[in-house]
Structure 1
Amino acid sequence: AFLVALACVLARAVAAATPIVVTDAATAPAGLDGVGRDASSRARLRCNACVVAVDAIYDDVEGERARRGGRVTLELAVDVMERTCARVGREFGLQMRDDRVTEMFSDDATVARARGRWITTYVSEACGTLIDGEHDEAWVELVNGGGNRRREVMCFERNRVCESAEAAKNANSARGAPGRDEL
């Protein structure tokens, strides 16, 4: 009996020390206050991850276009997008509000954020699906065309990650969730 109890204690200790790698919010770690636990929460989490990735990709590719003073080529866009997805994974976390994890992603160091392998993997994979080669031409068109509808085009029309164009437009923003001054 003692050995069984000891084995259980050791198993729990190892499990607690082992980083959790989860790519689906349906199996999110328990410490996330219910984020990703129900279908509605998973849908918002997927949409928000897509939107922050889209905005980061657009901003980085647009910045490179402006620095070079011209149109973006496919090769340049792909290079910048790959670097952006690596950065998104490193810098983004889920915002905290009243000591609880929200479904909103942020890279703002002045905002309390939950970070960790699950969150990093989740937002990195969301970014990766946007640059998988299938959407490269669309990115070039969006950047060279001004990118006004980038969230709707990439997260609703092309990927169907957000439930509507309006949801994509307002995701991870003050219109769709608490603003920075409310956090």
Structure 2
Amino acid sequence: MKSLNIKSMRFSILFSILMTCTQVFTQVEKSETFSRGTTSSAGSTVQTQIDGHNVVVHQTIGQSSIIGSAKSASLSAVQGFIQPFILEKILTPQIPQVLEAKIYPNPFVNNLFLEFDFMPKTNIVVSLFDIMGQVVWSKSYVSTNFITFEPTNLTYGYYFLKVECDAMQRVEKILKSK
């Protein structure tokens, strides 16, 4: 019976991870506006003030955790599996995500190509982020409509490529392959 519970828990965790990844990658490929989602039985988000500070609390039912908890006289918090929406770390909120550009090949081995149908008026900043939203490579280019770049020191896997120029941005999911 105990091994059945462990298998069930492992399946639930893997299913939740798969659903979250699917949701993030679908949003990157299909949407100009992004929204945050949580896979759980039920939940909510509440904005409140604690000691004069604005606080946002996300809670879910169905995402149990053994990591830890904290309690005070008026508040209790249990650490769980809600992760910040990755694109909140990558996108610049004030810049619209409307930049039209071709980024190829995808997947890539060494070189990537970036092509615009117009001549940008400003420098072009190209950045790569890992799946945790950390910058792993970034470079600025003088205005041109075609760029060849070779991001260095990348392991094989998924990355988010962000391109910024002319007060616009674009984020694409890319795969570094062997």
TM-score interval (norm. to shorter): under 0.3
- Give the helix-richer structure, 1 or 2: 1
TM value normalised by structure 1: 0.26
Higher relative contact order (CA 8 A, sep 6+): 1
Q: Of the two, which has the highest radius of gyration?
A: 2
- More strand by percentage: 2
TM-score normalised by structure 2 residue count = 0.26
